[in-house]
Amino acid sequence: MSAVFTFPGQGAQRPGMLANWPKHRAFSDTAAEAEQELGIALNDLDSEQALAHSRNVQLALLICAVAFGRYLLAEGVRPNYVLGLSIGAYPAAVIANSLTFKDALALVALRGELMQSAFASGFGMMAVLGLDPYQLQQLLAQSAARQVYLANINADNQSVLSGAWQELETLKVVINSAGGHCQALAVTVPSHCPLLTEQAQVLQTAFASIEMAAPAIAYVSASKARVLRDVSAIKDDLAMNMARQVHWLDASRLLAERGVSAAIELPPSGTLTGLFRRVLPQGHCVGANHTRLDSLRLLCSG
- Which range is least confidently modeled, 25-29, 144-148, 272-276? 144-148
145 pLDDT band, cuts 50/70/90, is confident
SS3 106: helix
Q: Is the dihedral of CA 135, 141, 142, 147 positive or negative?
A: positive
118 vs 212: which has the higher pLDDT = 212
pLDDT, mean of residues 259-274:
93
Cβ distance 96 to 215 under 8 Å? Answer: yes
11 pLDDT band, cuts 50/70/90, is confident
Q: Is the dihedral of CA 60, 94, 271, 294 positive or negative?
A: negative
pLDDT confidence of residue 269: 74
Assess whether pLDDT exceeds 80 at residue 188: yes
Domains of the chain, earliest start first: 2-118+193-299 (3.40.366.10), 123-184 (3.30.70.250)
Cβ distance 80 to 98 under 8 Å? Answer: no
pLDDT, mean of residues 167-181:
94
pLDDT, mean of residues 142-160:
93
pLDDT confidence of residue 73: 98
pLDDT, mean of residues 235-260:
97
Exposed / middle / buried, residue 113 (Cβ in 10 Å: 0-12, 13-18, 19+): middle
How far is residue 55's CA from residue 136's CA, in Å, rounded to a whole number? 30
pLDDT confidence of residue 1: 75
pLDDT, mean of residues 244-271:
95
How far is residue 221's CA from residue 233's CA, in Å, rounded to a whole number? 10
| pLDDT tens-place string over residues 249-261 | 999 999 999 999 9
| pLDDT tens-place string over residues 51-107 | 989 899 999 999 999 999 999 999 999 999 999 999 999 999 999 999 999 999 999
How far is residue 266's CA from residue 272's CA, in Å, rounded to a whole number? 9
302 pLDDT band, cuts 50/70/90, is low
What one-character DSSP code corresponds to residue 246?
B
- Which range is least confidently modeled, 35-39, 232-236, 267-271? 267-271
How high does pLDDT run on average in the chain?
A: 95
pLDDT confidence of residue 129: 96
Q: Which residues is 83 bridged to in the sheet?
A: 6, 220
pLDDT confidence of residue 171: 93
Assess whether pLDDT exceeds 80 at residue 137: yes
Element (H, E) at 253: helix 248-257
In the chain, % of residues over pLDDT 90: 89
